[in-house]
Structure 1
Amino acid sequence: MPTQIPLSCGDHSFRLLEHEHALALIKMLGIDRLDLAVMSNVSHVRPEAVSADVPGWADLVRARLDAAGLELADVFVIPGPDFATRAPNHPDPAEQAASRAMFSATLDLADRLGAPGMTMLPGLAWEDREADLARSAKELQWRAEAARERGLRFSIEPHLESIADTPARALALLEQAPDLELTLDYSHFVAQGIDPEEVHPLIPRTRHLHARGSRPGKGQCGLRENTIDYRDLVGRLQRSGYGGHIAVEYVWTLWAEMNRCDNLSETVLLRDALRAWLADEDWSYPDHAA
């Protein structure tokens, strides 16, 4: 029997809804695991607020999870309103200190909630890419060790515009941070025209996976236009012994024009496709107009 991999969904897919309604919707979709977004200025739960009262927010989020009947799959933290603010490899020591403080607060939240792991971003290329990569690796290795001491796994998402914006650069970062893992999203590479074959070597260091439609030139698109072979990717994950989740992650944001999808319909379509492929069954795009 094919190895089953549980699906999850992020509350940031439906951030225009009240938080309780977003969680209830995810449960109504038949998805029992949540990727909790803790993102500055854009998510239901904000890192600035969490930092001011970790126990209070842990109690509040736990009550919301229990009411919706959801378990946590991941906590995804973006600590600033842009990629530069509180980046882990920021060249300004004051920003570095603020970044570490926010990491510590949100790690405490993830621990109190019983999350299996936590995702953050890798940092930016500032002026000296080699030095910037080394600074990022040193800080992220420290964070991975700190998370492990709390019983959590820690990963970064290589993404567009980051220090790890290509598979080769992501691997170079991992080489310098041996305990760091990945939250892998093929769309950030495919949108740049990078062949998925170049991304597959990242699978062995992957603990969490984001999935959405993408094609060259588009970081997010409907499944009909998608060029990522998710059936092939599911098979690769199963054969590798992957033990994490697949998060159906359609987002709604102005960045990279990721506000042009019907998130609800596309989440349902990709959910159904992934369920079929995880069971080694065929799936075809429905034609309800017929």
Structure 2
Amino acid sequence: MKLSVTAWSFPALTMKEVGGLAEVLSIPAVDIGLFYASALDKARVVSDPEAYGREVREALPVEVANYYHLFGDGLAGRNLALPSDPENMKDCKAALSFAKAAGAPTVFVLPGMVNPGQSRKQALDQSVENLKPMVAAGQEIGVTLTVEPHTHGLLESVEMTHEMVNRVPGLKLALDPAHYLTLGYRQDEIETLCPHTGHVHLRQGRPGVLQAKMDEGTLNFPAFFGALRDAGYDGWLAIEYVHQAYMNTVFDDVLTETVRMRDTFNAWNA
């Protein structure tokens, strides 16, 4: 397993600056996406994915670990629990091609929301059907499609997450244990998802709190790293401390907590 850091952790930094910071911190990769000063040009991702992917890869001094793609303008727009949208499938194929050209082994998307008029079961059923051809497209091109279960989204339980991966052959998770932890799940329950993991986000948390300082949370990271290894995971671990309004994650020194998480992993991995 190897460390990366999410570009959106540092909202004021450009992509070039994030890459330089990762290099200074001896973190060998970055996760890239569509947010803040480091935002990719989504129009180019969709219209010219291969050339743009190569351009991004060549501009960075470190590797690209993952690409985070949003179909709409926000979490709800064109989300995958809505009726099938041909534009989403078109965009997904472009995102996968972009990721491959950029050297990223995985793309992560969100599984969808519980939309107006839906039950959670109806949202799950629709998301499953939308994800099946997307996963197949990733398998064809050689890039793994992952979904991130998250607070306020469709997948807010470990049990439903197991159901989704069982119903969509080849689907993997972008697993951030802090999302489940804040909803009240124990770490041993969360770790049952490790065999289905294709990418990982790392930050400390505790029940009711999505993001906490390293010494103020309840996640046992050495145990989590061991559970991933024992499940056969050998991919990227993306440090994802953030400074944003979502779930009140605005009060931490992102750089300091990033370094502390780096050191925690390196000490376990020594």
Same fold per TM (> 0.5)?
A: yes
Counterparts in 2 of 1:32-181, with a 5 A limit? 32-39=28-35, 43-65=38-60, 68=61, 70-91=62-83, 93=84, 96-126=85-115, 127-181=118-172
TM-score by length of 1: 0.87
Residue in structure 2 matching 1:229, options 217, 220, 244: 220
Contact 2:53/2:100, CA 8 A, preserved across alignment = no
Contact 1:192/1:216, CA 8 A, preserved across alignment = yes
Q: Does 1:31 align with 2:20?
A: no
Inter-partner Cα distance in structure 1 for 2:255 and 2:103? 28
Displacement of 1:146 after TM fit?
Answer: 0.2
Displacement of 1:84 after TM fit?
Answer: 1.0
Contact 1:86/1:99, CA 8 A, preserved across alignment = yes
Inter-partner Cα distance in structure 2 for 1:155 and 1:72? 16
Corresponding position of 1:13? 9
Partner secondary structure for residue 220 of structure 1: strand
Q: Which runs of 5+ in 1 are unaligned?
A: 280-290
Corresponding position of 1:244? 235
Inter-partner Cα distance in structure 1 for 2:214 and 2:68? 24
Inter-partner Cα distance in structure 2 for 1:254 and 1:80? 19
Contact 1:10/1:247, CA 8 A, preserved across alignment = yes
Inter-partner Cα distance in structure 2 for 1:37 and 1:193? 29
Q: Which runs of 4+ in 1 moved over 3 A?
A: none
Q: Which amino acid aligns with 1:89?
A: A
Contact 1:8/1:33, CA 8 A, preserved across alignment = yes
Contact 2:81/2:126, CA 8 A, preserved across alignment = yes
Corresponding position of 1:264? 255
Q: How many residues are aligned here?
A: 268
Inter-partner Cα distance in structure 1 for 2:76 and 2:216? 32
Q: Which moved more, 1:146-155 or 1:78-87?
A: 78-87
Q: Which amino acid aligns with 2:202?
A: A
CA separation of 1:120 and 1:52: change in aligned 2, threshold 3 A = same
Q: Which amino acid aligns with 1:34?
A: V
1:47-77 CA-to-partner distances (Å, cap 9, x unmatched) read 2442243345224312312xx2x11221121
Inter-partner Cα distance in structure 2 for 1:77 and 1:58? 13
Partner secondary structure for residue 38 of structure 1: coil
Displacement of 1:200 after TM fit?
Answer: 1.4
Contact 1:86/1:98, CA 8 A, preserved across alignment = no
Corresponding position of 2:245? 254
TM-score by length of 2: 0.93
Q: Which runs of 5+ in 2 are unaligned?
A: none
Residue in structure 1 matching 2:206, options 200, 205, 215: 215
Inter-partner Cα distance in structure 2 for 1:98 and 1:86? 9
Corresponding position of 2:267? 276
**Which has the greater radius of gyration?**
1
Displacement of 1:211 after TM fit?
Answer: 0.6
CA separation of 1:18 and 1:72: change in aligned 2, threshold 3 A = closer
Q: Percent identity?
A: 29
Inter-partner Cα distance in structure 2 for 1:30 and 1:223? 20
Corresponding position of 1:285? none
Contact 1:14/1:22, CA 8 A, preserved across alignment = yes
Displacement of 1:114 after TM fit?
Answer: 2.5
Inter-partner Cα distance in structure 1 for 2:47 and 2:231? 41
Inter-partner Cα distance in structure 1 for 2:33 and 2:187? 26
Corresponding position of 1:286? none
1:177-222 CA-to-partner distances (Å, cap 9, x unmatched) read 1210111100101111221122111111111111101111211111
